[in-house]
Chain A
Amino acid sequence: MSRETVDSSDGFLTRRKFLSLSAASVGLMSIAGLGEEASPAGATSGASSTIRVGWTTPPDVLNPFTYTASSALEIISLMYDTLMEYDINLKPTSGLAAKETVSADGKTFTYQLRPNATWHDGKPVTAADVKFSFDVVGKNNLGVSAWSLVDYESAVVSSPNTVVINYKKPQAFDPALAVFIVPQHIWGSMSTTKIQSYNNPNPVGSGPFKFKKWSTGQFVQVSRNAKWWGALPAATSIIWNQYENSDVMVQSLSSGQLDILTEVPPVLWNGLKNTPSVKSVEMDSFSFHHIGFNQSTSKKSGGNPLLLDKTIRQALSYSLDREQLVALALAGHGVPGSVQLPPSFGDLQETIPANQQFNNDPAKARTMLDAAGYKVGSNGIRVDKHGKPLSFRLIAIQTTDEDVLAGQIFVKAAQAIGVKLTLETLDGTTLGNIVYNSTAPNWDIFIWGWDSNNPDPDYLLSIDLTSQIGGNNDIFYSNPVYDNLYAQQAVAINPAQRRALVHEAQKVFYDDAAYCIMWYQSKLQAYRTDTWKGWTSTRGGIIYNFTRTNYLTATPK
Chain B
Amino acid sequence: MNARYFVRKLSTLSVTLFVTASFNFLLFHVLPGSPVQLLARSGHFDAAARAQLVKLFGLNRSLVAQYFIYLKNLLHGNLGYSYVYRKPVSTVLGSAIGNTVLLVGTATVITVFVGVWLGVVAASRANTLVDTSITVGSLGVWSMPDFFTGMILIFVCGVWTHVLPISGIETPGLVTGLWGHLGDVGRHLVLPAVTLMLVNAAEFSLITRNSLVDVLVEDYMLTARAKGLSRRVIIWRHALRNALLPIVTATALYVGMVLGGAIQVETVFSWPGMGLLIYNSVEQRDYPVLEGCFLLFAIAVIATNFISDLLYQVLDPRVRRT
Direct contact of A and B (CB under 8 A): yes
Residues on A close to B: CB < 8 A? 1, 5-6, 8-10, 12-13, 19-20, 22-23, 26, 29-36, 38, 43-45, 47-48, 50, 52, 54, 60-61, 63, 65-66, 68, 140-144, 146, 192-193, 196-199, 201, 215-219, 237, 239, 241-245, 248-249, 251-252, 255, 257-258, 399, 427-430, 432-433, 436, 471-472
Q: Is the CB of A192 within 8 A of B171?
A: no
The reply on B58 being an interface residue by CB < 8 A is no
Tally of contact residues, B, Cβ under 8 A = 70
A199 surroundings in chain B (CB, below 8 A): 85-87
B272 surroundings in chain A (CB, below 8 A): 215-218, 242
B185 surroundings in chain A (CB, below 8 A): 33
Q: In this complex, what residue of A is CB-closest to B55?
A: A193
Q: Is the CB of A5 within 8 A of B238?
A: yes
The reply on B156 being an interface residue by CB < 8 A is no
Q: For the complex, what is the distance from the CA of A252 to the CA of B284, rounded to whole Å? A: 25
Residues on B close to A: CB < 8 A? 33, 37-38, 41-46, 48-49, 52-53, 56, 84-87, 92, 95-96, 106, 109-110, 113, 154, 158-159, 162, 165-169, 171-176, 179-180, 182-187, 189-190, 220, 223-224, 227, 236-238, 241, 267-270, 272, 276-277, 279-280, 283-285
Q: Is the CB of B44 within 8 A of A48?
A: no
Q: For the complex, what is the distance from the CA of A196 to the CA of B45, rounded to whole Å? A: 7
Q: For the complex, what is the distance from the CA of A29 to the CA of B237, rounded to whole Å? A: 31
A251 surroundings in chain B (CB, below 8 A): 158-159, 166-167
A429 surroundings in chain B (CB, below 8 A): 38, 41, 284-285
Whether A34 contacts B283 in the complex (CB less than 8 A), given A141-B46, A197-B56, A471-B43, comes out as no
Whether A68 contacts B42 in the complex (CB less than 8 A), given A5-B238, A215-B272, comes out as yes
Q: Is the CB of B46 within 8 A of A140?
A: yes
Whether A38 contacts B171 in the complex (CB less than 8 A), given A1-B224, A430-B285, comes out as yes
Q: For the complex, what is the distance from the CA of A24 to the CA of B277, rounded to whole Å? A: 30
A302 to chain B, nearest CB (A): 15
Q: Which of B33, B168, B224, B284 contacts A241 (CB 8 A)?
A: B168
Whether A6 contacts B237 in the complex (CB less than 8 A), given A23-B113, A427-B283, comes out as yes
Q: Is the CB of A219 within 8 A of B49?
A: no
Q: Which of A22, A201, A248 contacts B270 (CB 8 A)?
A: A248
Pairs across A and B, CB under 8 Å, 21 listed: A6-B237, A20-B113, A23-B109, A29-B182, A29-B183, A32-B179, A34-B183, A43-B175, A45-B173, A50-B175, A54-B172, A63-B86, A141-B46, A193-B52, A196-B49, A197-B86, A199-B85, A215-B272, A218-B169, A243-B270, A433-B37
Q: Count how many pairs of residues, one from A and one from B, have CB atoms less than 8 Å apart in the complex.
A: 183
Supply 18 further A-B pairs (C-beta < 8 A) apart from A32-B183, A143-B44, A430-B33: A13-B236, A22-B109, A29-B183, A30-B190, A31-B186, A33-B182, A44-B173, A52-B173, A61-B85, A65-B44, A193-B48, A196-B44, A196-B46, A217-B272, A242-B270, A244-B267, A432-B41, A472-B43
Q: Is the CB of B172 within 8 A of A239?
A: yes
Q: For the complex, what is the distance from the CA of A429 to the CA of B285, rounded to whole Å? A: 7
Q: In this complex, what residue of B is CB-closest to A218?
A: B272
A9 surroundings in chain B (CB, below 8 A): 237-238, 241
Q: In this complex, what residue of B is CB-closest to A23?
A: B109
Q: Is the CB of B189 within 8 A of A144?
A: no
B236 surroundings in chain A (CB, below 8 A): 13
Whether A217 contacts B46 in the complex (CB less than 8 A), given A8-B241, A60-B84, A197-B86, comes out as no
Q: Is the CB of A192 within 8 A of B168?
A: no
Q: For the complex, what is the distance from the CA of A19 to the CA of B113, rounded to whole Å? A: 10
A258 to chain B, nearest CB (A): 7
Q: Is the CB of B241 within 8 A of A12?
A: yes
Q: Is the CB of B237 within 8 A of A13?
A: yes
B284 surroundings in chain A (CB, below 8 A): 428-429
B268 surroundings in chain A (CB, below 8 A): 245
Q: For the complex, what is the distance from the CA of A143 to the CA of B49, rounded to whole Å? A: 12
Q: Is the CB of B267 within 8 A of A48?
A: no
Quick one: which of A5, A32, A193 has the most chain B CB within 10 A? Answer: A193
B41 to chain A, nearest CB (A): 6
Quick one: which of B43, B92, B270 has the most chain A CB within 10 A? Answer: B270
Quick one: which of B37, B162, B166, B187 has the most chain A CB within 10 A? Answer: B187
Q: Is the CB of B174 within 8 A of A44?
A: yes
Quick one: which of A192, A239, A241 has the most chain B CB within 10 A? Answer: A241
Q: Which of B110, B175, B279, B285 contacts A47 (CB 8 A)?
A: B175
B44 surroundings in chain A (CB, below 8 A): 65-66, 68, 142-144, 146, 196
Q: For the complex, what is the distance from the CA of A95 to the CA of B85, rounded to whole Å? A: 29
B198 to chain A, nearest CB (A): 17
Q: For the complex, what is the distance from the CA of A259 to the CA of B172, rounded to whole Å? A: 10
B169 surroundings in chain A (CB, below 8 A): 218
Q: Is the CB of B186 within 8 A of A30?
A: yes
Q: Is the CB of B237 within 8 A of A30?
A: no
Q: Is the CB of A252 within 8 A of B189?
A: no
Q: Is the CB of A29 within 8 A of B186?
A: yes
Q: For the complex, what is the distance from the CA of A478 to the CA of B185, rounded to whole Å? A: 56
Q: For the complex, what is the distance from the CA of A12 to the CA of B315, rounded to whole Å? A: 10
B50 to chain A, nearest CB (A): 9
Whether A215 contacts B95 in the complex (CB less than 8 A), given A1-B223, A429-B38, A433-B38, comes out as yes
Q: Is the CB of A192 within 8 A of B49?
A: yes
Whether A44 contacts B175 in the complex (CB less than 8 A), given A32-B183, A34-B187, A144-B44, comes out as yes
Q: For the complex, what is the distance from the CA of A251 to the CA of B237, rounded to whole Å? A: 49
A6 to chain B, nearest CB (A): 7
Q: Is the CB of B190 within 8 A of A427?
A: no
Whether A1 contacts B171 in the complex (CB less than 8 A), given A23-B113, A60-B84, A433-B38, comes out as no
B192 to chain A, nearest CB (A): 12
A257 surroundings in chain B (CB, below 8 A): 165, 171-172
B171 surroundings in chain A (CB, below 8 A): 38, 44, 257
Q: Is the CB of A30 within 8 A of B172?
A: no
Q: Which of A52, A197, A248, A436 contacts B166 (CB 8 A)?
A: A248
Q: Which of A48, A252, A399 contacts B175 (CB 8 A)?
A: A48
Q: Is the CB of A216 within 8 A of B187?
A: no
Q: In this complex, what residue of A is CB-closest to B116?
A: A16
Whether A33 contacts B175 in the complex (CB less than 8 A), given A1-B220, A429-B38, comes out as no
Q: Is the CB of A217 within 8 A of B96?
A: yes
Q: Which of A34, A197, A218, A428 contacts B52 (CB 8 A)?
A: A197
A32 surroundings in chain B (CB, below 8 A): 179, 183, 186
Q: In this complex, what residue of A is CB-closest to B96?
A: A217
Q: Is the CB of A245 within 8 A of B238?
A: no
Q: Is the CB of B237 within 8 A of A217?
A: no
Q: For the complex, what is the distance from the CA of A31 to the CA of B283, rounded to whole Å? A: 36
Q: For the complex, what is the distance from the CA of A67 to the CA of B272, rounded to whole Å? A: 22
Q: In this complex, what residue of A is CB-closest to B43?
A: A471
Q: Is the CB of A216 within 8 A of B48?
A: no
Q: Is the CB of A244 within 8 A of B276?
A: yes
Q: Which of B53, B159, B168 contacts A218 (CB 8 A)?
A: B168
A215 surroundings in chain B (CB, below 8 A): 95, 272
Q: For the complex, what is the distance from the CA of A34 to the CA of B187, rounded to whole Å? A: 6
Q: For the complex, what is the distance from the CA of A19 to the CA of B117, rounded to whole Å? A: 14
Q: For the complex, what is the distance from the CA of A142 to the CA of B241, rounded to whole Å? A: 67
Q: Is the CB of A36 within 8 A of B167?
A: no
Q: For the complex, what is the distance from the CA of A36 to the CA of B180, rounded to whole Å? A: 7
Q: Is the CB of B48 within 8 A of A192?
A: yes
B179 surroundings in chain A (CB, below 8 A): 32
B176 surroundings in chain A (CB, below 8 A): 36, 38
